[in-house]
Structure 1
Amino acid sequence: MADLPTGMPIQLEPLVIRVLAPNASAYTYTGTQSYVVGGAGDVAVIDPGPDDGGHLAALERAIDGRPVRAIMITHHHRDHSPLARRLSAATAAPIVGAAPFAPGDHGSRADAAFDADYAPDRVLAEGDTVGGDGWTLTALATPGHTSAHLCFALAETRALFSGDHVMGWATSVVSPPDGDMGAYMASLDKLMGRDDRVFYPGHGEAVENPRRLVRGMLGHRKQREGQILRLLREDGQAIPAMVGRMYAGLDTLLLPAAERSVLAHLYDLANRGLVAQEGETWRIAA
């Protein structure tokens, strides 16, 4: 894990400052990266991160007294959205962005990753914009990592804030029921059709050649799909056994995420009529 300074505003380009939150982990890499977007006038803050007083103070230093036009959220996970409430109280800025998690849409399953208190003042849809003095951010619907995930495109510099849809250190976790592999792949295809100059992800370094990375991510997922189908052609398989063969040597802390990813692939394959489930066992569809 890279040794990067937390709480230090880093100017990435004239309209973009990055501030790293102190929440490094096996799932967040060096931590969540918050962004302050704007010049000498007003600004937007993208993904203020976990509810941490030190990170709030760091964001306030980066804002440096400028009016905050909006606090923008790519998705409703606890490492991205909780600090929005305290930042909104401090700046009077509205919270806008991804739709909140709706537990009723997912049966009785509770997911510890979700920010249950996230309640945006405005939900953004594809093409909705938030603008200020010399900057414009446009919402791009990229479901997959979560059902309501958004990216934000900065028109003035062709930068894309990619949240957890495309990260700078690893592929995104796609965990059903809110995560959907079919939607995730379609969202990657969507990004392939764009001409963004750089991606600024929620975790990891800036992506200087976005289309090359996205092409590699699509290939990686298709390779995993092929592995699953080859295993199932041998015999019926339960997910833990499949993960043991597909992810040899993986850190045990990451095994649950790998199992969720394989499940997401299996659901997608089942939706396409290629595999079927029998209890805990998955097989090639008859």
Structure 2
Amino acid sequence: MEPLEDGIARLLAENPSPFTYTGTQTYFVGGPSEVIVVDPGPAMNAHVDAILDAIGERKLVAITCTHTHRDHSPASRPLKEATGAPIIGCAPLALETAGPRADASFDADYAPDRILEDGDTLEADGFVLTAVATPGHTSNHLCYAVGDALLTGDHVMGWSTTVVVPPDGDMGAYMDSLEKLRLREDRVYYPAHGPQVDKPSRLVRHMIGHRMQRERQILKRLEAGDRDIETLVLNCYPGLDPRLRPAAGGSVTAHLVELERQDRVERLSEDTWKPLPSRNDTGSD
């Protein structure tokens, strides 16, 4: 276990991949007698044992998850069985996309004892954990504030942009959640994957700008004649690791779905799209 600051520590699960970076980071919030575990991670025996060792003789107040992808929530069950602590956190969600997942599948067996809503709190040894609803990566995603530190789950990661895959992943909701974080005054982000973010406001502004730039790029490629997701990915992500193309395709689709809501593109088939004339372009003098 790695101490980060007073009341917050973390433990890395040994599940590295192109989507988890070095692995899922489990967080511990609390003091010498009580603790909350955030994102217990995958149900790997060695990781569950390491969590239990890190808890030690402390009371486990709650097992909390940011969302229910299988690299975040499955260990909640063996941890509850071992300690009797309740699972309190994001809502359950078991939704599969039309095709295979590009990142991690949903944990269909996740069963919280209590669901946290935006602004709800938990406390361990005087350290208060506050839920911050941030839908977008998934519709049930929560971040957690501890003072002026924010545990960001997969909403903001320290190494890569977040995957947004419809139908549950929603680009409009994701952008709204980024704007919500932009208006906060957090000092540091502790993501589930990658290093801590010491200049969170600057990173969030960059992420918003990056997504807006990607949207413009997709529209430009549509206007140039690209129609299907595969072609859009190849032209918008040149040199991308082939293993990451399905994830990029999901994000391109999420952008297109949001543009469709805005009447800026039209879906021609399941996988093909075309641009629509600008609403400001009336065709008259």
- Say whether the fold is shared (TM-score over 0.5): yes
2:266 paired residue number:
276
1:118 paired residue number:
110
Deviation at 1:237, TM superposition (A): 1.1
TM-score (norm 2): 0.93
RMSD: 1.4
How many residue pairs match? The answer is: 274
Aligned-partner Cα distance in 2 for 1:136–1:192: 21
1:111-155 Cα deviation digits (max 9, x unpaired): 561001011111111111111212000100000000010000012
Pick the aligned partner of 2:220 from 196, 220, 230: 230
The answer to whether residue 169 in structure 2 is matched with residue 190 in structure 1 is no
Q: What is the identity, as a one-letter code, of the residue corresponding to 2:83? A: T
Aligned-partner Cα distance in 2 for 1:185–1:143: 9
Write out the 4+ residue segments of structure 1 that deviate beyond 3 Å after TM superposition. 106-112
Pick the aligned partner of 1:20 from 12, 22, 28: 12
The answer to whether the Cα contact below 8 Å between 2:62 and 2:87 also exists between their aligned partners in 1 is yes
2:207 paired residue number:
217
Aligned-partner Cα distance in 1 for 2:190–2:254: 26
Structure 1 residues 223, 81: closer, same or farther in 2, change over 3 A?
same
Please show how residues 164-175 of structure 1 align to structure 2 within 5 Å.
164-175=154-165
1:214-260 Cα deviation digits (max 9, x unpaired): 11111111110010011111225111001001111000000000000
The answer to whether residue 151 in structure 2 is matched with residue 178 in structure 1 is no
Deviation at 1:14, TM superposition (A): 1.9
Please show how residues 1-286 of structure 1 align to structure 2 within 5 Å.
9-103=1-95, 113-155=105-147, 158-279=148-269, 280-286=271-277
Aligned-partner Cα distance in 1 for 2:259–2:97: 22
Larger deviation: 217-226 or 229-238? 229-238
Structure 1 residues 153, 260: closer, same or farther in 2, change over 3 A?
same
The answer for unaligned runs of 5 or more in structure 1 is 1-8
1:4 paired residue number:
none
Deviation at 1:283, TM superposition (A): 0.8
Aligned-partner Cα distance in 2 for 1:213–1:108: 32
Aligned-partner Cα distance in 2 for 1:160–1:201: 8
Aligned-partner Cα distance in 2 for 1:162–1:145: 11
Aligned-partner Cα distance in 1 for 2:114–2:37: 15
Aligned-partner Cα distance in 2 for 1:206–1:16: 12
Aligned-partner Cα distance in 2 for 1:236–1:282: 8
Larger deviation: 53-62 or 72-81? 53-62
Structure 1 residues 87, 18: closer, same or farther in 2, change over 3 A?
same
SS in 1 for 2:64: strand
Percent identical across equivalent pairs? 54
1:147-174 Cα deviation digits (max 9, x unpaired): 010000012xx11000000000001000
Deviation at 1:107, TM superposition (A): 8.7
Deviation at 1:71, TM superposition (A): 0.5
The answer to whether the Cα contact below 8 Å between 1:73 and 1:81 also exists between their aligned partners in 2 is yes
